[in-house]
A and B are shown apart, each in its own frame.
Chain A
C-alpha cells in the first residue's frame, strides 16, 4: 500500500521524469511533503505561469514531457496561460494540480476552481481523479496521451483526499493503458496508396516547395526532411514552429514564410505548382489571404492529426501519419522514381534569395535590434537554444539567427504569449544543461515574468537574457504606425525600469548596453559568464520588422522598410 502522492512520484520515476517545476499551496501540500524526501529535482518558480512555461520550454528543448505542479484555485488558474500556450503549439506537458477534497467539490470551498472545466478546451485531455485506485492508470494514461500522436498538454486534478488515500493498484503497462483508451489510436504510417499518389505528384512537379512545420520537430523527422530535399531538389521553407527542422544554411533553405517571412519563401510558395506541407497547419500568419496562398499548387498535406487536413486549405493528397514515418515511406518510393530536373526552378529561387536577403539599415549611432541577434548568432556555440518573448523581438530572433538543428528555437507561436520566453528558457536550460540558452526578450514581455530572476539566481540557471529594449510594446506600436496613423495608444513604456539594476537586485549580473560598438563584446562576455546574465540593449526605438505582409493580404503583397 502507498498513498496518492507516492503514486504520483512513482509515475515520475517510471516515466523518467527527473525535474518538475512548481509552486506549493494548501491543496498540494501533501504532494510537496512527499517531494521533500524524494530524489527529484523540483524547481520553485516565482509564479505558477512560469512553472507551466518552464515545463513547456523543457519539453520543446528535450522532446520529453515537461511537468509542472500547482495548488488548487489561483495556483491552477495561474497555470492556464501556460497550458493554453502549450496546447496551441502541441507541446507535451503534464500539469498536476491540487484540488479541494472530493467531498467539498462543488461547494465553493476555499480555493476551489473547476480546473477540469476551465482547461477542457486547452488540453489534449484532462482528469479529475475521484479515487486513489484510479490514479496509477490515470498517471500512466496522462503521460501516454501527452507525448503520443499529436502531442499536447494534459491536466491531472488531484483532490487532497485522493493524495492521502491508500491504494495497492499497480502502475499499469502501456498495453493496459492502450486497452483502456480504446478510442485513441493515432495513425503513424501513411496509407501506401496516398504515399504513392504523393510521390507521383512530386515526380511530375516543375516548381515544388516543401512547407515544414513544428510537426517535423515533434516527430524528429529532420533527417527524412533533409533526404526529401536531396531527392527532389525542392526548396524548403519552414514556419516559426518549424525553424531548425531544416538547416537554414543549406542552399535549399528559404527560411521562414508568412507575415514576416522571407520574400524568397513567400514568392516561391506563391509560384509553386506543388506544395508539400509536413506537420504544418496553414495558420493565418502563414497563409495570409487564403485564396491567394499557393494558388496554382497541388497540395500534399502530411499530418498526424486528421482534423488539420483540409481545415484551412483543401489538400489534394492528404496523408494522415507521423511526419518521420510518412517522409521515410515517401523517400523510399521516390528513390525508385525519376523526378524532374527542376534546375530552372532552383535557379529562380536562388535569384530571389540573392536579391531579397533579410536586411536592415545599419547604424553607428544607435543599436539596431537585428544586430544584437546577429551577434548572438555569430558568437554562440553550436549547441545553442534561442527562447523568445513575443513581439518584434520574437520576429528578429526568428529572422536573424540561423537555425540549423531541431529544438534550437523555443517560441510561443500559436498563442503568442508575452512573458513566455524567460521561464521557457529556464525550462530549456534545466533540460539541456550543456547548452547555451538565450532569451531574446522585449522590454514589455520580460516584465510579465521578471520575477523569475529569483529562480535563475537561486538555482544558478545560466540563462542569458538579451532585452531588445525599445521602450515600446514595439509590435503593437509598429501596427499603430503603419495602420493607425501613428496614434501610439498605450504602447510607450518609456524605458522603465532599469533592467540591469533590477537584475542585480535579484543577484543576477546585469549590463546596460547603449552603443553599437559595445554589442559584440557584451554578447561575448555574457557567453563567458558562468551564471545568468541580463543584457539590456537600448535599441533604436522605432525600428520595424520587415518584410511584412499586412494581415489578410496575399503573402506576395509585401511591405518594405
Chain B
C-alpha cells in the first residue's frame, strides 16, 4: 500500500463528478481526497485524487476511469509532482497565552491569519497533506473548533505537460 496522486482530465459537463464518484463507490475504491476545478481550457476540468492502495487497485481504478466517455485523460502524478491543499482552521484562543502561540505556529507554517474574534483565530494554510496535518497536530493542543480542508491540486514538475493537447 502506498499513497498515489492521480490527475484526471474530464469534460466540463454537469454530472461528471457524479459519474466519477459513483464509480468509486460501486467498485469499492477508497479515495482519500478529491478536488475539482476548471483548467486552462474552459471545456475541460481537472480532478485530482489521492488514495492509498497497491498497484492492482491503482491499475483497476485507472482502467475504469478511462472507460468513462467523459474522462479525457488519466495521469499518475506520484513521482515528482507539485501538490497543494488548503485548510482553514478556527482555533480557540480564549486562554491568555494561546493567541500569540497560535500566531507563531501559523507563522512557522507560512500560514496567514485571515479572521480574528475575541475567542478565536482563523488560520489559512496551504501545502502538502503532510504539512497541513503537521500544523493541525500542533494547533490541536490549543483546541481546534473547526476545520475546512480541500483536496489537493497537483501537476507534474518541470516542463512536462499533462493537459489535453
Q: Which residues of A contact B (CB under 8 A)?
A: 116-117, 120-121, 124-125, 128, 145, 181-184, 305-307, 310-311
Chain B residues whose C-beta falls within 8 Å of the C-beta of A125 in the assembled complex:
68-69
Q: Are A120 and B18 in touch, CB under 8 angstroms?
A: yes
User: What residues of chain B lie closer than 8 Å to A120, measured between beta carbons?
Assistant: 18-19, 22
- Check: B71 CB closer than 8 A to any chain A CB: yes
Q: Is the CB of B69 within 8 A of A184?
A: yes
* Chain A residues, Cβ within 8 Å of B22: 120-121
A257 to B19, CA, bound (A): 35
Within 8 Å of chain A (Cβ to Cβ): is B72?
Answer: yes
Residue B11 is within 8 A (CB to CB) of chain A in the complex: yes
B73 close to A (CB within 8 Å): yes
Distance in Å from the Cβ of B87 to the closest Cβ of chain A? 32
12 CB-based A-B contacts, threshold 8 Å: A116-B15, A124-B69, A181-B69, A183-B10, A183-B72, A184-B69, A305-B67, A306-B66, A307-B60, A307-B63, A310-B59, A311-B60
On chain B, the residues within 8 Å of A117 by CB distance are 18
Contact with A along B65-95 (1 / 0, CB 8 A): 0111111110000000000000000000000
| Residue of B with least CB distance to A307 | B63
The answer, among B63, B69, B72, B164, for a CB contact under 8 Å with A145, is B69
B64 at the interface (CB under 8 A from A): yes
B26 within 8 A of A: yes
Collect the chain A residues with CB atoms within 8 Å of residue B67's CB: 305, 307
In whole angstroms, how far apart are the Cα atoms of A310 and B57 in the complex? 11
Q: What total of A-B pairs shows CB separation below 8 Å?
A: 36
- CB neighbours (8 Å) of B73 from chain A are 183
Q: How far is the CA of A461 from the CA of B135 in the complex (A)?
A: 73
Chain B's closest residue to A145 (CB) is B69
Interface residues of B (CB under 8 A from A): 10-11, 15, 18-19, 22, 26, 56, 59-60, 63-64, 66-73, 164
Given known A145-B69, A183-B69, contact A128–B60 (CB-CB < 8 A): no
CB of A441, distance to nearest CB on chain B (Å): 32
Enumerate chain B residues within 8 angstroms of A184, measured Cβ to Cβ: 69
Q: Distance in Å from the Cβ of B21 to the closest Cβ of chain A?
A: 10
The answer to whether B15 touches A128, judged by C-beta atoms less than 8 angstroms apart, is yes
Q: A145-B69, A311-B60 are in contact. Are A121 and B26 (CB under 8 A)?
A: yes
Q: Within 8 Å CB of B10, what residues of A?
A: 183
Closest chain B residue, CB of each to CB of A130: B14
Across the interface, do A183 and B19 meet the contact criterion of CB distance under 8 Å? no
Given contacts A124-B69, A307-B60, A307-B66, 17 further A-B contacts (CB under 8 A): A120-B19, A120-B22, A121-B22, A125-B69, A128-B15, A145-B69, A181-B69, A183-B10, A183-B66, A183-B68, A183-B69, A183-B73, A306-B66, A307-B63, A310-B56, A310-B59, A311-B60
From A124, A128, A181, A306, B63 is in contact (CB under 8 Å) with: A306
CB-CB < 8 A to A116: which residues of B?
A: 15
> What 10 A-B pairs are tightest by C-beta distance, nearest first?
A307-B63, A183-B72, A184-B69, A183-B71, A306-B63, A121-B26, A181-B69, A125-B69, A120-B22, A307-B64
CB distance from B163 to the nearest CB of A (A): 12
Task: Point out the residue from A128, A145, A183, A306 that lies within 8 Å of B11, measured CB to CB.
Answer: A183
User: B64, A183: Cβ atoms under 8 Å?
Assistant: no
Q: How far is the CB of A311 from chain B (nearest CB, A)?
A: 7
Which residue of chain B lies nearest to A314 when distances are taken between CB atoms in the complex? B56
Which residues of the other chain, A, contact B18 by a CB distance below 8 angstroms?
117, 120
The interface residues of chain A lying within 8 Å CB-to-CB of B164 are 182
CA distance A4 to B58 in the complex (A): 42
Tell me, rounded to whole Å, the shortest Cβ–Cβ distance linking A221 to chain B: 21
Residues of A within 8 A of B56 (CB): 310
Chain B residue, CB-CB nearest to A320: B63
Closest B residue to A122 using CB positions: B26
In the complex the two chains form, what is the Cα distance from A518 to B126 in whole Å? 82
CB of B89, distance to nearest CB on chain A (Å): 35
How far is B66's CA from A307's CA once the two chains are assembled, in angstroms? 9
Minimum Cβ distance to chain B for residue A124 (Å):
8
* Cα A311 to Cα B60 with chains together (Å): 7
The smallest beta-carbon distance between B116 and chain A, in angstroms, is 40
Residues of B within 8 A of A181 (CB): 69
Task: Give the nearest-CB partner of B63 in chain A.
Answer: A307
Shortest distance from the beta carbon of B14 to any chain A beta carbon, whole Å: 8
Verify B72–A182 contact, CB threshold 8 A.
yes
Give A53 Cβ to nearest chain B Cβ, in Å.
23
Give Cα distance in the complex from A182 to B68, angstroms: 11
Chain A residues whose CB sits within 8 angstroms of the CB of B59 once the complex forms: 310
